[in-house]
Amino acid sequence: MFPVFTEDELLAMSGSVLQELTAEEMESKLVFLSRVPTWLLEMAIARLSYCFQPFDCRHNNRPLPFTPLIQFIIKKEGQEKRIERYAYTMKLHEAVRKLNGLIFGGRKAVVQAHTFPFIAESVALRIPQGLKIRVRELRFKENMNGRFEALNNLINEFSYPLESLSILNQEEDIDYFSHPALTSAQRIYLVGAAPLDIDLLLNLSNKIVHFKYIWSPDFSTEELMTFARKIITVGSPVGVQRTFRMSHEDSIDNLLNRVGIRTNR
C-alpha cells in the first residue's frame, strides 16, 4: 500500500474528504496519485473493497455474498494433518463456546498447559463442564484473588505449587500477598506499581522474586541493602534471588560502591 494522507490529515478529517481538503492540498494528492501505476491503484481498490465488504454489508443490513468459514488444522504425531471447516454463522460468544466444546468437550483426562494467561480487563470464561487444566505458570492482571476464585473449578489442584506466577497490580491491591498460590510459587514476577508497605515485599519467602515495578520509582540504595540484610538474617538457602529494575546510572554506581564498602569490611 502507499500512503496518500498523513496521520495528522486523517485525524483532522470529519465527514467527506473533499470538504476537508483545500484546492492546493487536493491538487498535490492528485499529482501524487497520477504517478502511481494504474494496475497498482486497481489492486489497492480491489483489496480494500474486499476487506471492507463485511462491514459494508452489516452497515447496510445486507447478507454476505459468501459463507464465512472457520478452519481447524488437526495434527497428531505419526498421522497426516486433517483440515476441517465449519460455517461461521453464530455470534462471537456462541462461537467461543462452540469452539471450546469442539476442542475440550468430553475430555476426561486433565489438559496439560505450560502457561495460562488471565490478563484481559473483562472476560467471560466459557469452559466446557468438567474440564480441568494443569498449569505450570499463571499470569494475572490485578484482582488476583477474584481471578483465582473464577478459576477454582478449572485449575487442577496438582498445579500447585506453581513454577511461576506473574501479577500486574495497583498500589492499593495488596490482598493477594498472603494467597497460598503466591506464597508457595517458586518464582514470582511483580509488575505494575509497588505497594506502599515495603514489608510486604521484604517478607516474601519465594525462592526467586523479580520486581518489575515500572509504575513506581526505583528502590533506593538503602532499601536494596535492606533486602540483602533480610535474606542474610533469615538464613535463606543458596539460590534465593531478588532482582530489581534500576533506571539511573548514578543509582547503580552508588549501590556498587555501598556493596564494595560493606564487602571490604
Q: What's residue 7's pLDDT?
A: 58
Q: Domain ranges for the chain, please list them.
A: 90-264
Q: Residue 171's pLDDT is what? A: 59
The predicted pLDDT at position 172 comes to 62
Look up residue 202 and give its three cell numbers: 521484604
Calpha distance 13→9 (Å, rounded)? 6
C-alpha cell at 235: 538464613
- Residue 165 forms beta bridges with which residues? 138, 188
Q: What three-state secondary structure class fits 146? A: helix
Which CA distances in Å does 2 have to 23, 35, 41, 75, 128?
22, 12, 9, 39, 46
Return the pLDDT at 17.
47
CB 22 within 8 A of CB 65: no
Angle formed at CA 180 by CA 175 and CA 184, multiple of 5 degrees:
125
Start-to-end CA span in the chain (Å): 66
Whole-number pLDDT of residue 173: 65
Distance from C-alpha of 151 to C-alpha of 145, rounded to nearest angstrom: 10
Task: Please list the rounded mean pLDDT of every run of 10 residues in the chain (265 residues).
Answer: 58 52 77 82 83 84 84 82 82 78 82 86 74 92 81 90 88 77 94 86 92 85 86 86 83 74 53
How many Cβ atoms are within 10 Å of 246's Cβ, its own excluded?
Answer: 14
Under 8 Å CB-to-CB from 163, ≥6 apart: which residues? 136, 137, 185, 186, 187
User: What is the number of other CB atoms lying within 10 angstroms of the CB of residue 96?
Assistant: 15
Helix and strand tally (H, E) in the chain? Answer: 10, 8
> What is d(CA 181, CA 164) in angstroms, rounded to the nearest whole number?
10
Whether the pTM exceeds 0.75: the reply is no
Report the pLDDT value the prediction gives residue 137, as an integer from 0 to 100: 95
How far, in Å, CA of 247 to CA of 252, rounded? Answer: 8
- Say how far apart CA 206 and CA 229 lie, in whole Å: 16
**Nearest one of 120, 90, 119, 115 to 102, comparing CA atoms:** 90
Is 88 in contact with 69 (CB distance < 8 Å)? yes
The pLDDT assigned to 3 comes to 60
Task: Supply the pLDDT for residue 37.
Answer: 84
The total number of residues shown for the chain amounts to: 265
CA distance 194 to 215: 8
State residue 264's pLDDT score. 53
